[in-house]
Amino acid sequence: MSNVDTTKATDARAKSSQPLLHRIRALNRPLIILGAVMVATFLATLVGIFTDARAITGVPAWVKPAKFAISVSVYSFTFAWLLTFVENYPRLVRWMANITVASIAVEMFAIITQAARGTTSHFNMTTTFNSLVFMAMGSFIVLVWAMNLVLAIVLIRQRMTDRAFAWSLRLGVIISALGMAVAFLMLRPSPDQVAAIANHGPRIIGAHSVGVADGGPGLPFLGWSTAGGDLRIAHFVGLHALQVLPFLGWLLTRRKSLFVFLSGADRVAFVWTAGAAYLGMVALLVWQALRGQSLIHPDSKTIFGLIALAAGAAASIAVIAARVWNRNRKARVLASAMHILTQ
């Protein structure tokens, strides 16, 4: 290769890397700092898990702060990346980022404080202080949810050149907002809690689990109930649409060489199919939990719902595949005819 060719190749690589470098530089600093602090917090909580023998609702005291630190770290980095796609609203981007960072910081401070005190942070209304902590957490987490919803609205309004990737971002944010909203269902008091409130006894209002008390048998580390329903599962799955669907959109649009046979409309159809299937899975998990059913012990109704969901997704993919095959067949026939005519 000549020096001229080498220079051209180098320039091409440099130009292709500019969008990525630009997005890295554009990442919101407060969110990145929060994500990094949460990584350090997670490492610190691991020390607590192995050195602090106390348990809260049946699990080591520092497991909950550890889980939240991981989740917040992933959310912060993802939210910072998503904000780079918002154009012409710099002030709004700053507000969304700063409100999210401040709100999550309050949430994590409350969770860590209550873990250090050896008591629960969520649903704890047993004392005035615990009630204030829980209500503050609820107020600030609503702000985080609201910022997620604002981002969804902005992305829907935002013009993007690649429709498939744009819809993967939009659907990911929308479904994650719905996944966050599942937490509101956890605030409903159980019949036993209503009776305790009526008798002016110790008050725990709300729960993760349905049909069983929090703190019973659960999956390792995650703690999801294996004896009854658990709304945290749908909450978790829904929230992580924020990573799953944009990754699918990136795969379909940024790695077109792997899907060269798909048109732009095909890619959009695949993204919508994945989004609908993902939302259906979140709804199925909510329905299963509200019936007091454990994730690992599905009944026939849940299994039938899962089969119906899978069949619907498969049918949609089959329609897209048939359209692609038919289009390619016509192209091959036309190419063959042109080849015969030019002989």
Q: What is the pLDDT of residues 129-156, one digit of tens each?
A: 998 999 999 999 999 999 999 999 999 9
- 224 assigned to some structural domain: yes
Domain boundary among 126, 159, 192: 159
- 165 assigned to some structural domain: no
Domain boundary among 124, 159, 194: 159
Residue of 312, 314, 313, 328 lying closest to 263 (CA atoms): 328
Distance separating alpha carbons of residues 99 and 148, to the nearest angstrom: 11
Going by pLDDT thresholds of 50, 70 and 90, the confidence category of residue 244 is very high
Residues 76 and 211 occupy one common structural domain? no
**Total structural domains within the chain:** 2
Q: What is the mean pLDDT of residues 326-332?
A: 66
Residues 135 and 202 occupy one common structural domain? no
Residue of 20, 1, 115, 111 lying closest to 62 (CA atoms): 115
Residues 94 and 126 occupy one common structural domain? yes
Residues 130 and 226 occupy one common structural domain? no
Q: What is the mean pLDDT of residues 180-190?
A: 88
Residues 147 and 188 occupy one common structural domain? no
- 167 assigned to some structural domain: no
CB 246 within 8 A of CB 168: yes
Residue of 249, 224, 228, 250 lying closest to 237 (CA atoms): 224
- 69 assigned to some structural domain: yes
Domain boundary among 107, 137, 159: 159
Residues 116 and 48 occupy one common structural domain? yes
Residues 154 and 232 occupy one common structural domain? no
What pLDDT shows up at residue 296? 92
Q: Of 126-135, 189-198, 333-342, give the range with the top mean pLDDT.
A: 126-135
Residues 93 and 203 occupy one common structural domain? no
Residues 341 and 193 occupy one common structural domain? yes
What's the full length of the chain, in residues? 343
Residues 135 and 179 occupy one common structural domain? no
What pLDDT shows up at residue 6? 47
Going by pLDDT thresholds of 50, 70 and 90, the confidence category of residue 9 is very low
- 297 assigned to some structural domain: yes
What integer best gives the mean pLDDT of the chain?
86
262-313 residue pLDDT tens: 888 889 999 999 999 999 999 999 999 999 999 999 999 999 999 999 999 9
Tell me whether residue 82 is exposed, middle or buried, using C-beta atoms within 10 angstroms of its C-beta: 0 to 12, 13 to 18, 19 or more: buried
- 88 assigned to some structural domain: yes
Residues 276 and 154 occupy one common structural domain? no
Among positive and negative, which fits the CA dihedral 303, 306, 312, 317? negative
CB 302 within 8 A of CB 284: yes
Range(s) of the domain holding residue 52 = 1-159
Q: Which residues pair with 124 in a beta bridge?
A: 204
Is the predicted pLDDT of residue 13 greater than 50, yes or no?
A: no
- 195 assigned to some structural domain: yes
Residues 195 and 133 occupy one common structural domain? no
Q: What is the mean pLDDT of residues 67-74?
A: 95
- 166 assigned to some structural domain: no
Distance separating alpha carbons of residues 270 and 164, to the nearest angstrom: 8
Going by pLDDT thresholds of 50, 70 and 90, the confidence category of residue 14 is very low
